[in-house]
């Protein structure tokens, strides 16, 4: 049973024009504690917003944080008029200009990302409904009443059981379809409107992820906001290579869960290893802590090449699309398990499991597509048990002397380095290896500085198997590759929000930093862990998910501890909270939404704009997607942005083509409404940017500290936040930042440690105290008509003048 807070057919204009409260009598709750309750819920103005319903909010964001474009390609080849050259102000044959074209590609990326998360969510939802029934309750335990903050706010419903999630899913799918259609030739013509749609796609992505994670948490009994979720083993060195090994790659837990169930039901836990790479690893280890996490996506090719896995089970997203070929190289057996990635394999879903096992073992098929997770469990396990012994005898990787011999054939053409996404000095490393010194190759292997994309190998004019050489060199230190990660806990508890809501909003906790996303790091995985460590030491709350969470686990501090061992999993100052996989990212904006609701009593249902405005101006949260590479990551960041949360990307993030940058030199951009006094006042550039890309870790760390400033900080909170900003700036830049004067509103804001220096800066700048804004907002004053929003430079009409 779903609680509708507004009748569906009366939505939109009717609800927007009237401030209506609906009283529900007789809501019967299912389950043990069935009772009659009366609930009064207020429906906000935008339940199930259509593509244009939040456009006026987007225009406000985009006016302050104007899109910055860095075209990755000057041409367009989407239709047969093309290719069209869009340089020097030229337009395509359809009339599109370079800005709109970039924005269109961003929208496309966000639609793809949102679709990937949400199709995954739909698959999980239907699979779990089939297993558990539509009426299976959404129960996240005693401490979580606001079970689905995004669904509540965006869709305007309170889902009570799995079946209810379908309504949110239907809505999301419909919106994504409209958004995708806008990418067709001859549809949208304004870059700003493309951006508004991209923000909507990002929001739909957030929604899809929430549906996916809630479904799996409740139906598969994953940790429910448990701050003490167990530590699970992480690292290539944790896998017992003597045992049969099944490796899961991808994101969808169903087939992994099928394998674990089969292994447990047949009491085979001690006889084999089930492990994973990428989010599949995180989610199977949430399902069962005996499953092991090999590591993030950067380990994929290395680990496959190492030959340790007897059976490779791929589900969806971020799997190597040449995995069939790679598996064959070392006689591993491949099972594809979802409609998204069939890999050209024969569909064996309806075959007898033993027949599939025999065909795989006897090489009659090059792999199997099995769309039934339980059958995957049986087949994968049986195959691994059958072939493991013989496979262990195979010689898969070259010996060190062979590596030296091969390396000595290098012609110094230099192309391995030129084609490397990070221009890594592979040629130099190979040359040294040719002389018997492997240390440079080892360095590239450590911390996944080389993330085994394989581009160098295919370019090599001597056909050196660089990836296999790297995999073998990595084996030398395999015993050190033993770490851990706290199992993904899912949502933040309401009680935790009650505890930290005030300190976060008032600034006593300097910020909530979320390290999310993939491993397209500019300089190895340890940068992420070092950033996390820096903020943990400074009392920030650090949240993480997906590959970022694994990268953090692969690092040990000076005392040899992982950060998960050192810091608790509490959502509190100095807490390191692994929420889970990619879909669990939903709990990060979810926590911010809960702060608005639990701490500030803002109603959620259908109330997107008020909640986002609250977060933008009051909740000092900042996302970091240091190695973001995928379209999903584009959607995640864009969705987070629409809630008013800034995100810092690594340098590769500029290849997404678009950032949202503020202009601190233009005062008019930072005018802000004081809702209490109904006046427009001069605000401060906080947060300074909405989507930023930093060139290196040092720059990013400073930027993150600054991006936690909010107009609503109390003086005490501001002092604390500035103190960290200045400290970090001094550490990496050697000085007190010049722009600190912009963030001192009154003398009380000045951090005591830096009083003298800051006063000197203030004097030099002719600083005068400003009033602290009591209720900062970028929303319109009540009763003001929204067309005001469109009188801004970003609007297409303004552009045309």
Partner 1 sequence: MYERIIPWQPTAIAGPKQALLVTPKTAKMMIKRAKRPLFVVGPIIKEDPLLKLTIDIANKWNIPIVTTGDAYKTLRDRDTNSNPYGIVEITNLLKDPEWKGVNGEGQHDLVMFIGCIYYIASQGLSTLKHFAPHLKTLTICKFFHSNADASFPNMKDEEWLNYLEKMKIA
Which residues lie near partner 1 (CB under 8 A)? Answer: 68-75, 85-88, 98, 418-419, 421, 423, 522, 651-652, 654-655, 659, 661, 663, 665, 692-696, 698-699, 703, 732-735
C-alpha span between 334 and 247 (Å, rounded): 10
81/733 with CB nearer partner 1: 733
Strands 541-545 and 576-580: parallel
Smallest gap from residue 628 Cβ to ligand SF4 (A): 16
C-alpha span between 323 and 626 (Å, rounded): 26
In the chain the first and final C-alpha atoms are separated, in Å, by: 53
82 binds, among partner 1, ligand SF4, none (CB under 5 to 8 A by kind): ligand SF4
C-alpha 150: how far from chain center: 16
731 contact partners, CB below 8 Å, separation of at least 6: none
What are φ and ψ of residue 676, in 5° steps?
-70, -45
Structure tokens that stand for 593 in this block: 């939404």
Structure tokens that stand for 770 in this block: 């400003």
69 binds, among ligand SF4, partner 1, none (CB under 5 to 8 A by kind): partner 1
128/464 with CB nearer ligand SF4: 464
Total residues at the site for ligand SF4 (CB under 6 A)?
38
Of 167, 179, 45, give the one whose Cα is nearest residue 111: 179
Smallest gap from residue 528 Cβ to ligand SF4 (A): 16
Residue 189 binds ligand SF4, judged by CB under 6 A = no
Smallest gap from residue 360 Cβ to partner 1 (A): 37
Q: What is the dihedral of CA 500, 503, 508, 513, to 10 degrees?
A: 50
185/654 with CB nearer partner 1: 654
416 binds, among partner 1, ligand SF4, none (CB under 5 to 8 A by kind): ligand SF4
Smallest gap from residue 518 Cβ to partner 1 (A): 16
Choose the stretch contacting ligand SF4; rule: CB under 6 A; options: 221-229, 346-354, 413-421, 601-609. Answer: 413-421
Residue 784 binds ligand SF4, judged by CB under 6 A = no
Binders in 14-43 for ligand SF4, by CB under 6 A: none
427 binds, among partner 1, ligand SF4, none (CB under 5 to 8 A by kind): ligand SF4
Structure tokens that stand for 37 in this block: 């309750």
Sole binder of ligand SF4 in the list 155, 165, 309, 456 (CB under 6 A): 456
Binders in 691-750 for ligand SF4, by CB under 6 A: none
Helix (H) or strand (E) holding 553: helix 546-553
| Residue labelled with tokens 């698959």 | 123
Return the bridge partners of 341, or none: 338
User: How many alpha carbons fall within 13 Å on the CB side of residue 164?
Assistant: 22
User: How many alpha carbons fall within 13 Å on the CB side of residue 471?
Assistant: 22
Sole binder of ligand SF4 in the list 201, 424, 550, 744 (CB under 6 A): 424
414/503 with CB nearer ligand SF4: 414
C-alpha span between 621 and 649 (Å, rounded): 15
Q: Is the separation of the CB atoms in 358 and 336 below 8 Å? A: no
C-alpha span between 503 and 460 (Å, rounded): 55
Strands 658-661 and 541-545: unpaired
- Tell me the per-residue interface mask from 89 to 108 with ligand SF4, x by CB under 6 A, - otherwise: ---xxx-x------------
For residue 684, count other CB atoms closer than 10 A to its CB.
22
Smallest gap from residue 50 Cβ to partner 1 (A): 32
C-alpha span between 535 and 586 (Å, rounded): 22
Smallest gap from residue 236 Cβ to partner 1 (A): 29
Residue 85 binds ligand SF4, judged by CB under 6 A = no
Return the bridge partners of 544, or none: 515, 578
Choose the stretch contacting ligand SF4; rule: CB under 6 A; options: 66-74, 336-344, 417-425, 640-648. Answer: 417-425
Smallest gap from residue 98 Cβ to partner 1 (A): 5
158/427 with CB nearer ligand SF4: 427
Smallest gap from residue 444 Cβ to ligand SF4 (A): 6
Binders in 460-479 for ligand SF4, by CB under 6 A: 460-462, 464
27/661 with CB nearer partner 1: 661
106/116 with CB nearer partner 1: 106
- 3-class SS string, 209-277: HHHHHHHHHHHHCCCCCCCCCCEEEECHHHCCCCCCEEEEECCCHHHHHHHHHHHHHCCCCCCCEEEEE
Q: What is the dihedral of CA 610, 613, 619, 620, to 10 degrees?
A: 170
80/87 with CB nearer partner 1: 87
Residue 413 binds ligand SF4, judged by CB under 6 A = yes
464 binds, among ligand SF4, partner 1, none (CB under 5 to 8 A by kind): ligand SF4
Sole binder of ligand SF4 in the list 10, 73, 77, 760 (CB under 6 A): 77
Residue 410 binds ligand SF4, judged by CB under 6 A = yes
Residue 415 binds ligand SF4, judged by CB under 6 A = yes
Q: 681 by DSSP, 3-state: which?
A: strand
Sole binder of ligand SF4 in the list 451, 670, 692, 725 (CB under 6 A): 451
Sole binder of ligand SF4 in the list 52, 265, 411, 682 (CB under 6 A): 411
Sole binder of ligand SF4 in the list 100, 236, 278, 430 (CB under 6 A): 430
88 binds, among partner 1, ligand SF4, none (CB under 5 to 8 A by kind): partner 1
Could you please report the per-residue DSSP string of 718-733? Answer: HHHHHHHHHHHHHHHH
Sole binder of ligand SF4 in the list 81, 85, 145, 793 (CB under 6 A): 81
Smallest gap from residue 283 Cβ to partner 1 (A): 32
Q: Is the separation of the CB atoms in 692 and 648 below 8 Å? A: yes
What are φ and ψ of residue 153, in 5° steps?
-70, -45
1 binds, among partner 1, ligand SF4, none (CB under 5 to 8 A by kind): none
Smallest gap from residue 702 Cβ to partner 1 (A): 8
609 contact partners, CB below 8 Å, separation of at least 6: 45, 46, 54, 57, 779
Q: Is the separation of the CB atoms in 482 and 238 below 8 Å? A: yes
C-alpha 255: how far from chain center: 22
Where along the sequence are the contacts to ligand SF4 (CB under 6 A)?
76-79, 81-82, 84, 92-94, 96, 185, 410-416, 420-422, 424, 426-427, 430, 450-456, 459-462, 464
């Amino acid at each position: 049973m779903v609680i509708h807070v507004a009748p569906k057919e009366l939505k939109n204009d009717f609800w927007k024009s009237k401030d209506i409260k609906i009283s529900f009598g007789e809501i019967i709750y299912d389950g043990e504690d069935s009772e009659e309750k009366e609930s009064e819920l207020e429906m906000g103005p935008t339940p199930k917003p259509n593509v244009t319903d939040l456009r006026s909010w987007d225009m406000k964001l985009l006016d302050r944080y104007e899109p910055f474009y860095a075209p990755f390609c000057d041409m367009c080849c989407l239709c047969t008029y093309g290719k069209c050259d869009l340089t020097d102000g030229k337009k395509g044959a359809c009339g599109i200009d370079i800005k709109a074209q970039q924005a269109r590609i961003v929208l496309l990326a966000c639609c793809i990302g949102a679709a990937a998360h949400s199709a995954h969510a739909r698959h999980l939802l239907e699979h779990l409904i089939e297993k558990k029934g539509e009426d299976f309750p959404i129960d996240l335990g005693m401490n979580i009443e606001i079970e689905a903050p995004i669904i509540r706010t965006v869709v305007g419903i309170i889902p009570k059981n799995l079946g209810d999630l379908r309504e949110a899913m239907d809505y999301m799918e419909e919106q994504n379809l409209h958004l995708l259609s806008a990418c067709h030739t001859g549809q949208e013509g304004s870059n700003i409107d493309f951006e508004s749609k991209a923000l909507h796609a990002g929001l739909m992505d957030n929604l899809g992820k929430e549906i996916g994670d809630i479904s799996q948490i409740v139906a598969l009994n994953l940790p429910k906001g448990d701050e003490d979720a167990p530590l699970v083993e992480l690292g290539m060195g944790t896998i017992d290579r003597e045992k049969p090994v099944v490796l899961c790659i991808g994101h969808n837990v169903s087939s992994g869960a099928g394998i674990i169930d089969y292994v447990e039901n047949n009491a085979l836990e001690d006889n084999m290893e089930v492990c994973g790479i990428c989010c599949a690893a995180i989610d199977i280890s949430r399902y069962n802590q005996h499953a092991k996490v090999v590591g993030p996506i950067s380990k994929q090719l290395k680990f496959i090449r190492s030959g340790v896995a007897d059976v490779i089970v791929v589900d969806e997203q971020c799997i190597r699309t040449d995995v069939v070929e790679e598996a064959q190289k070392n006689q591993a057996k491949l099972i594809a398990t979802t409609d998204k990635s069939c890999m050209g394999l024969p569909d064996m879903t309806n075959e007898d499991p033993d027949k599939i096992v025999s065909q795989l073992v006897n090489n009659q098929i090059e792999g199997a597509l099995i769309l039934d997770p339980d059958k995957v469990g049986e087949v994968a396990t049986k195959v691994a048990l059958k072939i493991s012994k013989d496979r262990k005898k195979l010689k898969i990787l070259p010996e060190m002397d062979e590596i030296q011999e091969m390396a000595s054939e290098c012609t110094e053409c230099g192309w391995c380095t030129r084609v490397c996404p990070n221009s890594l000095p592979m040629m130099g490393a190979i040359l040294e290896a040719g002389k018997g010194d492997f240390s440079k190759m080892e360095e590239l292997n450590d911390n996944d500085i080389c993330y085994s994309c394989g581009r160098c190998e295919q370019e090599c004019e001597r056909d050196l198997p660089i990836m296999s050489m790297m995999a073998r060199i990595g084996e030398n230190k395999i015993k050190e590759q033993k770490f851990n990660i706290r199992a993904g806990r899912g949502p933040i508890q309401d009680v935790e929000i009650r505890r930290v809501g005030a300190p976060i909003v008032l600034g006593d906790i300097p910020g909530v930093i979320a390290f999310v996303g993939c491993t397209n790091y500019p300089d190895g995985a340890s940068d992420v862990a070092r950033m996390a460590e820096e903020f943990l030491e400074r009392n920030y709350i650090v949240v993480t998910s997906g590959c970022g969470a694994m990268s953090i686990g692969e690092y040990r501090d000076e005392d040899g501890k992982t950060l998960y061992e050192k810091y608790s999993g509490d959502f509190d100052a100095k807490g390191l909270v692994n929420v889970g996989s990619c879909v669990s990212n939903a709990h990060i904006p979810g926590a911010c939404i809960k702060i608005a609701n639990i701490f500030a009593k803002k109603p959620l249902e259908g109330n997107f704009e008020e909640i986002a405005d609250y977060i933008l101006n009051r909740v000092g949260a900042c996302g970091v997607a240091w190695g973001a590479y995928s379209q999903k990551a584009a959607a995640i960041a864009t969705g987070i942005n629409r809630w008013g949360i800034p995100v810092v990307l690594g340098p590769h993030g500029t290849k997404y083509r678009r950032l949202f940058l503020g202009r601190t030199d233009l005062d008019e951009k930072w005018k802000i409404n004081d809702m209490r006094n109904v006046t427009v006042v001069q605000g401060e550039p906080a947060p300074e940017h909405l989507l930023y890309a930093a060139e290196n870790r040092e720059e990013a760390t400073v930027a993150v500290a600054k991006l936690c400033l909010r107009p609503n900080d109390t003086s005490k909170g501001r002092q604390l936040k500035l103190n960290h900003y200045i400290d970090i700036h001094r550490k990496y830049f050697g000085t007190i930042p010049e722009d600190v004067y912009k963030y001192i509103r009154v003398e009380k804001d000045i951090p005591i440690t830096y009083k003298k220096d800051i006063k000197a800066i203030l004097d030099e700048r002719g600083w005068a105290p400003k009033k602290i804004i009591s209720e900062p907002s970028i929303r319109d004053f009540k009763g003001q008509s929204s067309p005001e929003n469109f009188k801004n430079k970003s609007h297409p009409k303004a552009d045309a003048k």
